[in-house]
Chain A
Amino acid sequence: MAKDPYKYFRVEARELLDGLSQGILQLEKDTPAPEVMARLLRLAHTLKGAARVVKQPGIAELAHTVEGILTTHREAGQPLSKEQGSELLGLLDEIASRLSALEPASDVVVAGPARPPAEEPLETLRVEIQEMDSLLRTVTEAGVQLGAVRKGLGAADRLRDLTSLLVDLLVARPGENGAGASAGMVRAHSLAEELRSSLDRFQRSLAVDLDRVDGELVEIRDVAHRFRLIPAQTVFPSLERSVRDAAQTLGKRVVFEASGGEVRLDANVLASLRDALMHVVRNAVAHGVETEAERVALGKSPAGQVRLEVLRRGGRVAFVCSDDGRGIDVEAVRRAAVDRGLVPASEAKSLPADKIIALLGAGGLTTSNDVTELSGRGIGLDVVRATMCRLKGEMSIRSEPGCGATVEVRVPISIASLQGIVVEAAGELAAIPLDAVQQTLRVRDSEVVRSAESDSILHNGNVIPFLPLDRMLRRSGSAGRNRGVWSAVVVAAGDRSVAVGVDRLLGTSNIVMRALPGVVEADPVVLGASLDAEGNPQLVLDPGGLVAAAERGRGATSEEARPRRAPVLVIDDSLTTRVLEQSILESAGYEVELAVSAGDALTKAHDRRYSLFIVDVEMPGMDGFEFVAQTRSDAALRDIPAILVTSRNGVEDRRLGEQVGARAYFVKGEFDQGQLLQTIRTLIG
């Protein structure tokens, strides 16, 4: 006898409960289609039978009751009433609860009526994500190794060519006495012929085998990725159930709609998000949507709406939950924030509505008058905030009085599968997500409209920015040259487009994109990276980043036309150093301004915009460390990078430099112009 006799029953029963739960929610909305009813009856009947097999008469009886209610309802031919729906869902919760009681003592999981049955499909195998990642890495590496074998095939080509030469030579060469080929020569020729045909066969067979293995590996990789990523719609039933239960408890009518369920993301991320989103949708019902009477009085439809939209935004997935309720009561939040001591009363009055709403994300704040089981303790948003913190995500809240509120949570994705168009620029390959590509074009140089700020082309009657990709990738390519004809990819993000100029279009490809390693702070044009067939990284570009770069005017196609970079501010009390650094920077094409002290520099920095601070450490008055620290805490200056150039060479000084936020540290005695300029180029271009 197995140690856990109910192991398979639990798995099967939970899947059946899941199907029943989804179907019952559907029945509440629509008149039941005969096939839906038949499926639900079959599920209930199967559950009853399975329970009897494992000698669980209690569960069998409950399943029998569900079956009975469904049978009665089938005859009625109209949507399920809320009362009937609640009764059925209550029975399912009772079954779920009894199933949990059948868990072995060591791994009992908490299950209650508020939580839907565990989403565990039939005959599943649980695999740790790390193990799946390890499998993916191994499969990718196997592909790389196969690439090396394929190179060996190239060597076989060479062998065959040499053998052909040998065959020709042996045919052309007469016997030693000039009277025709000797028997030895004939034999050698015949052997060479045989060698050539053997090599031919070997090469063909190897090529076929390699193609086959290659195909199998691609299949394994795709399947493994499918396992690794779960569609967002997996959590929709749980959320719909939460909305339904909350609405019923509060006596409201609410319709739940969801879209974007096909977006796939990491299973562990999705599992954490489900719990957070359940709080978000319950909050929307509890705080946002008005009662039916209130809605009718306001001229709204009697049933409120809670919508969940799942979108891929750059390297993140956004879950946007909006309702069409009353919106957030800004004044109530203002009062609650003062009561909780989050904001002094004197300041609270002058805070604009968006800042007040942002306080809701700060934790422990609620505006609900009634503390109910569903909401009103301010716990919901705390859970969301904690989840975002754990997942390194973000939350934002918007509201429009009388029209509704929107809570948006965005989480980073570590891996995504997408179709991309592969392009080449300055010798490097990159992919652009295909769903953002509107068109590919050939653009003659004469069709590029030049201006001081940026270049553009006329596309379908609209002027859109034109950006050479090599410039965006900071590669020295053909961007500045008059090149005759460009290949261009028109990329859209939102309602804006940009034409990206490239050297070549290489076609479309299914790409497995990974997030960039955490230590890489890439330009916003880069979304992630994938590995090509040979295991080499290939950048995946962010359509939003490309459009944003176009708006910044970074892609001018000639040096003269590039927008002017803000000057570099050199801060040093030594005249010699100031002049030396100025000459190095100016000869490299940078505009330079000088400051004789940190105080002087702060005044200048608030008067105009600089692209970089180059700061001495030891100066009279405020020293360089303090200057850097002060600018890092100043919202207007913190994004201007600072480099320390000093005669202090101690490790502690370097550490202090890093701690205060300097991006690089140069010692005057070991001064290397090339390295300084390279660092500056890395920081500001």
Chain B
Amino acid sequence: MNEPQLVESKAAALRQAFDQSFALPPPPASQEVEDLLAIRVAGNPYAIRLRDIAGIVAGRKVAPVPAVTLDLLGLAGIRGGVVPVFGLASILGYGQVPGSLRWMILCGAEEPIALAFSDFEGYLRLPKSSLHADENLRATRQYVNQVASTEAEARAVIGIPLIVATIRNRIGHHRLAKEQ
């Protein structure tokens, strides 16, 4: 096969792939599924709603800061900005967990906050029916309000907006107390 024939054959294959994509059944409507990230915190499986986060980064150096901010690990340079990094394990009540916190999720578009954790396991797309809210869970765990069940295991879903709101409120209370 000479070169023009090769190009023609490749173009035909691409055309066919393009046409076939219209013949596939549409994916489930977004309101019927929930996109999740599967992570581990202090060795335990957790999930994070993809829509709650602005990004995920790995391997950034965290520069410590002398501060009275609880759960703060330090600052990281992310996307050309200086971002505060908090320990997810510490926020969830595990205290300081040994080992490297290689992964960070970015939360919030303005003044983003990064939450660091050790293991990122992958991506999950689950029907919403696989997510179970439990009032008892809400009563006993501050930042977990749902459970995502798969065939393999059940994962607590971390309420990222709640964590972010708490971090922002804390500083508000602290500054108010100082100003008063």
Complex contact B70–A664 (CB within 8 A): yes
- Over the window 496-507 of chain A, the binary record of Cβ atoms lying under 8 Å from chain B Cβ atoms (1 yes, 0 no) is 000000000000
Residue of B nearest to A532 (CB): B77
Complex contact B173–A526 (CB within 8 A): no
Question: Inside 8 A of A526's CB, which chain B residues have their CB?
Answer: 65-67
Chain B positions 135-180 with a Cβ under 8 Å from a chain A Cβ: 138-142, 166-171, 173-175, 177-178, 180
Alpha-carbon distance between A635 and B177 when the two chains are bound, in angstroms: 9
A139 interface hit (Cβ, 8 Å)? yes
Question: Inside 8 A of A675's CB, which chain B residues have their CB?
Answer: 90, 93-96
Complex contact A136–B70 (CB within 8 A): no
Query: B67 touches which one: A138, A514, A522, A679 (CB < 8 A)?
Result: A522
Complex contact B178–A639 (CB within 8 A): yes
Alpha-carbon distance between A531 and B170 when the two chains are bound, in angstroms: 26
Complex contact B66–A474 (CB within 8 A): yes
Question: Inside 8 A of B69's CB, which chain A residues have their CB?
Answer: 519-522, 682
B68 interface hit (Cβ, 8 Å)? yes
Query: B170 touches which one: A651, A658, A672 (CB < 8 A)?
Result: A658
Alpha-carbon distance between A658 and B177 when the two chains are bound, in angstroms: 12
Question: Inside 8 A of B79's CB, which chain A residues have their CB?
Answer: 137, 141
Query: B68 touches which one: A472, A516, A658, A682 (CB < 8 A)?
Result: A682
CB contact under 8 A between A663 and B139, given known A672-B95, A683-B68: no
Alpha-carbon distance between A682 and B35 when the two chains are bound, in angstroms: 36
A552 interface hit (Cβ, 8 Å)? no
Query: B169 touches which one: A137, A658, A663 (CB < 8 A)?
Result: A658
Given A522-B69, A632-B180, 6 more contacts at CB 8 Å? A139-B80, A516-B75, A517-B82, A519-B113, A639-B177, A664-B70
Q: How far is the CB of B41 from chain A (nearest CB, A)?
A: 14
Residue of B nearest to A426 (CB): B64
Residue of B nearest to A674 (CB): B95
Question: Inside 8 A of B63's CB, which chain A residues have their CB?
Answer: 428, 529, 536-539
Residue of B nearest to A639 (CB): B178
Alpha-carbon distance between A522 and B94 when the two chains are bound, in angstroms: 24
Q: How far is the CB of A415 from chain B (nearest CB, A)?
A: 11
Question: Inside 8 A of B95's CB, which chain A residues have their CB?
Answer: 672, 674-675, 678
Question: Inside 8 A of B50's CB, which chain A residues have their CB?
Answer: none
- Over the window 531-558 of chain A, the binary record of Cβ atoms lying under 8 Å from chain B Cβ atoms (1 yes, 0 no) is 1001111110000000000000000000
Complex contact A518–B171 (CB within 8 A): yes
Question: Inside 8 A of A472's CB, which chain B residues have their CB?
Answer: 66
Chain B positions 88-122 with a Cβ under 8 Å from a chain A Cβ: 90, 93-96, 111, 113
Complex contact A632–B167 (CB within 8 A): no
Residue of B nearest to A538 (CB): B63
Question: Inside 8 A of A678's CB, which chain B residues have their CB?
Answer: 90, 95-96
Complex contact A521–B139 (CB within 8 A): no
Secondary structure class of chain A's binding surface, majority of residues = mixed
Question: Inside 8 A of B66's CB, which chain A residues have their CB?
Answer: 472-474, 522-523, 525-526
Question: Inside 8 A of A523's CB, which chain B residues have their CB?
Answer: 66-68
CB contact under 8 A between A522 and B65, given known A517-B83, A537-B77: yes
Alpha-carbon distance between A658 and B169 when the two chains are bound, in angstroms: 9
Alpha-carbon distance between A517 and B142 when the two chains are bound, in angstroms: 25
Q: How far is the CB of B79 from chain A (nearest CB, A)?
A: 6
Alpha-carbon distance between A578 and B126 when the two chains are bound, in angstroms: 48
Alpha-carbon distance between A473 and B63 when the two chains are bound, in angstroms: 11
Alpha-carbon distance between A229 and B72 when the two chains are bound, in angstroms: 30
Alpha-carbon distance between A132 and B63 when the two chains are bound, in angstroms: 26
Question: Inside 8 A of A682's CB, which chain B residues have their CB?
Answer: 67-70, 72
Query: A529 touches which one: B80, B82, B111, B169 (CB < 8 A)?
Result: B82
A-B contact pairs, 12 of them (CB 8 A): A140-B81, A428-B63, A519-B84, A519-B167, A531-B77, A531-B82, A535-B77, A639-B178, A650-B140, A654-B142, A661-B177, A663-B70
B61 interface hit (Cβ, 8 Å)? yes
Question: Inside 8 A of B138's CB, which chain A residues have their CB?
Answer: 651
B47 interface hit (Cβ, 8 Å)? no
Alpha-carbon distance between A582 and B67 when the two chains are bound, in angstroms: 25
B76 interface hit (Cβ, 8 Å)? yes
- Over the window 595-607 of chain A, the binary record of Cβ atoms lying under 8 Å from chain B Cβ atoms (1 yes, 0 no) is 0000000000000
Alpha-carbon distance between A519 and B84 when the two chains are bound, in angstroms: 8
Question: Inside 8 A of A639's CB, which chain B residues have their CB?
Answer: 177-178
Complex contact A674–B77 (CB within 8 A): no
Alpha-carbon distance between A683 and B76 when the two chains are bound, in angstroms: 22
Alpha-carbon distance between A277 and B111 when the two chains are bound, in angstroms: 29
Chain A positions 435-488 with a Cβ under 8 Å from a chain B Cβ: 472-475
Complex contact A663–B75 (CB within 8 A): no
Query: A514 touches which one: B65, B82, B94, B141 (CB < 8 A)?
Result: B82
